[in-house]
Structure 1
Amino acid sequence: MDAEAAAGRYDVVVVGGGHNGLTAAAYCARAGLSVLVLERAAGVGGAAVSAEVFPGTGARLSRYSYLVSLLPARVVRELGLDVRLVRRRWSSWTPDPDDPARGLLVDGGDAAATRASLVAVGGTADADGWETFSRSTATLARGLWPTLVEPLRTRAEARALVGDDAVWDALVEQPLGAALAAAVPGDLARGVLATDGLIGVSRPLDDETLEVNRCFLLHVVGGGTGHWDVPVGGMGAVSGALERAARTAGARLVTGAEVTAVTPDGEVTAVVGGEEGTATARWVLSGVAPSVLEGLLAAGGADAPAAPVVRPEGAQVKTNLLVRRLPRLLDAGVATGAAFGGTFHVHETASRLDAAFAEAAGGRLPSPQPCEVYCHTLADRSILPPDLDAEGAHTMTVFGLHVPDALVPADGPEHDAVRDRLQENVLQALGSVLAEPVEDLLLRDADGRPCVETRTTKDLERSLGLPGGHIFHGPLAWPFVEDDDPLGTPAERWGVATRHPRVLLAGSGARRGGGVSGLGGHGAAMAVLEAEGLPRP
């Protein structure tokens, strides 16, 4: 049946059943279009899934993506998604690498406490600069966030919506490092602010390409506030809700479908259960990375693009842990729940971040490893089975920065050795700022193995099809266009155009992509509906 479905005629074929592909499918199907989604994995959701990472434990971790900031309330409302997000009280805790018995606690519920902590670690200048910089990011978020579910604005229009030329110039027109240095003199506080520009991006803070700025913007505009929330039930609950919305609307979802070719005329060839079939559609929406799409188009006989396709390069390492309790802190004045209740920054001062970039650029794995820790189970215990919940167990997710794909061998023993080294570096970095080794707290799976796994960029490419392990499918774009960019077609107006009119971007590689947002899929669906003359459902 699945092979037959993959060989039919549809209004829309979606290549890739990640959360963006599901978003596009749900919108198009709700508008009355016939929709087919082809997903190569055994299940949908892509990187936004939950999994029993450690067999026999019953704990379902958000294995890849883990927090939500950019999913618009409008998308949740329009698709009728049963998604609940929990706001974290504490924003972050950052122990001083030179003296881990003290640190910076950013308290989302107590501005005075945050200011006192800033004064304690860096002085009044840090506290004043932090408050000023935070007001700047809030101004940027308020101006740009509402536009992400609307047709693209031009640069001039976006600047006018922000309404503050000084903020625009500081955060959009010049390297982020300059704005941070001008606002916050302290190395530790500046590093905490800087990390939002380095998630999956290995560049220096004074990056002249402004890739750091674009990543930073992505991380501070969500919801108009920049808050990052915990999905109750794990990230799989988000994709599960989108899958139900797509199926309920009538979309056909076929898993285990390896797409092998796409033609500019709307033919999509896939192998399902060993059988090859070709589906035909008026629109092909690509939830895969743009570089992957180019390979599929080449296989379908499309002309080569005018410029060579650049392979993306991710730059992170991800470690998941299951522990019997959270580790003790060296700072007795901070509660463990507060320290791990937001983002726990490890060796992420501004100077250490730039040093790690220099090490990576020189071909060496950073040491100590800058990384940040997030504990889902402090906000949502539902991902644990009753026995682990009762015992007080916790999950810990660690995201390491400045680990470019070029430093990770492709496969075999060499890859495994680097993965082991990266895991060791992560655990050593954590241990250097804690009162006890995390290794001593690890639970064991059904086979007696410690509950810790590390995923490299190469692992992400193999398991999720992310070229170079790039979590955003490639370098991020500004969520607006230049003043002279063409906006003559629906696809151009929604930031999803390719060089083929019937093939649209519907994933993180769209202009307004990146993160668990549904924005890529939403934009592609809106372009299709506009072109078809259909109302927004």
Structure 2
Amino acid sequence: MPAHQVYDTVIVGGGHNGLVAAAYLARAGKSVLVLERLGRTGGAAVSTRPFAGVDARLSRYSYLVSLLPRKIVDDLGLRFAVRKRDVSSYTPVVRDGRPTGLLVGGGEERTRASFRRLTGSDAEFTAWQEFYGMTRQAAERIFPTLTEPLPTRTALRERLGDDTAWRILFEEPIGVAVEQRFADDLVRGVVLTDALIGTFADAHDPTLAQNRCFLYHVIGGGTGDWDVPVGGMGAFTDALAGAARAAGAEIVTGHEATALRTDGREAEVDFRTETGEGTVAARHVLVNASPEALAALTGGSAPEPAEGAQLKVNMLLTRLPRLKDTSVDPREAFAGTFHIGEGYGALATAYAQAAAGQPPAAPPCEIYCHSLTDPTILGPDLAERGYQTLTLFGLHTPARLFAGTAEEHDKAREALWEATLAQLDTHLAEPLADCLATDAEGRPCIEAKTPLDLERDLRLPGGNIFHRPLAFPYAQESTGRWGVETADANVLLCGAGAVRGGGVSGIPGHNAAMAVLDTP
């Protein structure tokens, strides 16, 4: 890169949001440089072959697409596809001494029958339809605002046009609505899980952290659907990088930003590579990293410490395990979200134990099989032999549980995995271990990541997948027009820590680009 060149925009970080911003700005005729620390773009939205000698390309960190607006796909001409899952979820449970479960999906009548078999009546199914009818209407009205300038709280409430929905989503702990509308402990737990993905909170947390998490999980795409990326997450970010380069953006990997200086009109970014150091100048700098990383670059005040609360496990199986509940085919049970230990009472117990500094005795988790919906992530030989991937996402496992030496961290991770596996095995007709594939060196194909692993690998503060607590999608005193503004007029935050950030959405990248283009 020429030392004398002043770019219109330098983007620090080549994750999916940075690539979205780069593509928009380059298409608008701006000169754009993306500096990526790692040797590849994509950030947490990447695919990799984690098991030696095994031709399975897994979405290593993030693994589903929920919040990506069709507008971004169309605007940028992305060659990228997603597939919908027929089954939304399956939750096994033992009732009256017999294995059963709740299957949501496969058509309305099948879902109704599953509710009736579990609870003995249609009451819970009727409540489910009414509740998710409300959230779907909220999604249709709120989701389009995420790529518009931030509305005021009053304007968003008027846009929603439903005082009851507003109260449930924005004003009172989500646990109130769950307990008022549902009677069955298992059904209550399935509803609550959307409030806890990556968020360490109780159903009645007065901060409403769980409400903000729930809102983002149910409004995706205006439908609340969670879609499967064809080819894995890497296919999505590769398409973004291609679109940005095709529009004229310059993307360099192995370039770590080390400092950022600005007078509000022009800025300089220092960087280092394996072979040396350099400085680049720009009119605007977009930081596709956490607020903590932004503070480190500028020397500003560090935000409140963040803490992640999830265990992420990637696995490859030679076959799907058989279930004790023989009424459900494993291919259906694992095609959606397979809930373990997520009854309402069990979730509360797990939270209380973790909040007290103890690992949950019965760790709650969610499991999903990407390869059932998209077998292209498997090599032809593996697919022909019936191999399948599993992704496990554990809840209520805050970073504090893994603190200490490297040895203590690894011991805590292993103990948590063993407890999680034991919970899963109680619902299987055969041990999961019997189904695990092995790599070229004979090791089981398992890769587990704690919050502290994510902090080390991706520099997520405390392993928090949202960078910091999520915010409601309306303007507050210091949020600015687009929710990406910082204390410096020409420095914008375009990562998950922006208002309306979090998840694989591209929304902060879009909004940061719009903020730049808004500048006279």
TM-score range with shorter-chain normalisation? over 0.9
Deviations 1:278-336 (A, max 9, x none): 111110101000111111111xxxxx44xx52111000001110000101011111111
Q: Separation in 2 of the partners of 1:481 and 1:425?
A: 42
SS at match of 1:138: helix
Partner of 1:269: 270
Partner of 1:417: 411
Q: Separation in 2 of the partners of 1:443 and 1:7?
A: 54
Partner of 1:374: 368
Of the three residues 45, 53, 57, the one matched with 2:42 is 45
In structure 2, relative to structure 1, the CA distance for the partners of 1:100 and 1:444 (3 Å cut) is farther
Partner of 2:379: 385
Partner of 2:196: 198
Deviation at 1:6, TM superposition (A): 7.9
The count of corresponding residues between Structure 1 and Structure 2 is: 515
Select between 60-69 and 131-140 the one with higher mean Cα deviation: 131-140
Partner of 2:64: 67
Partner of 1:431: 425
Retained in 2: the 8 A contact 1:202–1:315? Answer: yes
Retained in 2: the 8 A contact 1:144–1:221? Answer: yes
Partner of 1:397: 391
Deviations 1:338-397 (A, max 9, x none): 111100000101111111000000111112110000100000010001110110000000
Partner of 2:217: 219
TM-score, normalised to structure 1, is 0.94
SS at match of 1:263: strand
Partner of 2:449: 455
Deviation at 1:525, TM superposition (A): 0.2
SS at match of 2:207: coil
Of the three residues 135, 138, 141, the one matched with 1:137 is 135
* Match status 1:78 vs 2:66: no
1:185-334 equivalences in 2 (<5 Å): 185-265=183-263, 266-298=267-299, 304-305=300-301, 309-334=303-328
Retained in 2: the 8 A contact 1:132–1:183? Answer: no
Retained in 2: the 8 A contact 1:84–1:231? Answer: yes
Deviation at 1:264, TM superposition (A): 2.9
1:490-529 equivalences in 2 (<5 Å): 492-529=480-517
TM-score, normalised to structure 2, is 0.97
1:438-477 equivalences in 2 (<5 Å): 438-477=432-471
* Identity of matched residues, %: 52
Deviations 1:387-415 (A, max 9, x none): 10110000000000000011112552111
Retained in 1: the 8 A contact 2:63–2:232? Answer: yes
* Match status 1:118 vs 2:106: no
Deviation at 1:8, TM superposition (A): 4.3
1:157-176 equivalences in 2 (<5 Å): 157-176=155-174
Retained in 1: the 8 A contact 2:399–2:451? Answer: yes
Retained in 2: the 8 A contact 1:149–1:519? Answer: yes
Retained in 2: the 8 A contact 1:6–1:270? Answer: no
Structure 2: 5+ residue stretches without partners: none
Q: Separation in 2 of the partners of 1:248 and 1:311?
A: 38
Root-mean-square deviation (Å): 1.4
SS at match of 1:504: strand
Retained in 1: the 8 A contact 2:174–2:210? Answer: yes
SS at match of 1:382: helix
Retained in 1: the 8 A contact 2:83–2:228? Answer: yes
Deviations 1:97-134 (A, max 9, x none): 55571000001x41122122112222433122111111
SS at match of 2:347: helix
Partner of 2:24: 27
Deviation at 1:69, TM superposition (A): 1.0
Retained in 1: the 8 A contact 2:13–2:287? Answer: yes
In structure 2, relative to structure 1, the CA distance for the partners of 1:399 and 1:502 (3 Å cut) is same
Deviations 1:47-88 (A, max 9, x none): 000000111101000010000011100000010101100000
Partner of 2:519: 531
Deviations 1:227-253 (A, max 9, x none): 001000000000000000111111111
Q: Separation in 2 of the partners of 1:367 and 1:390?
A: 38
Partner of 1:10: 7
Q: Separation in 2 of the partners of 1:458 and 1:316?
A: 10
Q: Which amino acid aligns with 2:82?
A: L
Deviation at 1:427, TM superposition (A): 1.4
Select between 418-427 and 469-478 the one with higher mean Cα deviation: 418-427
Q: Separation in 1 of the partners of 2:331 and 2:201?
A: 32
Deviation at 1:273, TM superposition (A): 2.1
Q: Separation in 2 of the partners of 1:429 and 1:5?
A: 57
Q: Which amino acid aligns with 2:20?
A: T
SS at match of 2:513: helix
* Match status 1:127 vs 2:121: no
Deviation at 1:163, TM superposition (A): 1.1
SS at match of 1:136: helix
Q: Separation in 2 of the partners of 1:425 and 1:44?
A: 35
Q: Separation in 2 of the partners of 1:97 and 1:224?
A: 35
In structure 2, relative to structure 1, the CA distance for the partners of 1:497 and 1:323 (3 Å cut) is same
Q: Separation in 2 of the partners of 1:381 and 1:6?
A: 46
Retained in 2: the 8 A contact 1:39–1:254? Answer: yes
Retained in 1: the 8 A contact 2:94–2:100? Answer: no
Structure 1: 5+ residue stretches without partners: 299-303, 533-537
Partner of 2:86: 89
Q: Which amino acid aligns with 1:273?
A: E
Q: Separation in 2 of the partners of 1:89 and 1:5?
A: 52
Deviations 1:163-188 (A, max 9, x none): 11111111211000001111111110
Partner of 1:301: none
Q: Which amino acid aligns with 2:383?
A: D
SS at match of 1:241: helix
Retained in 2: the 8 A contact 1:443–1:451? Answer: yes
Q: Separation in 1 of the partners of 2:213 and 2:2?
A: 39
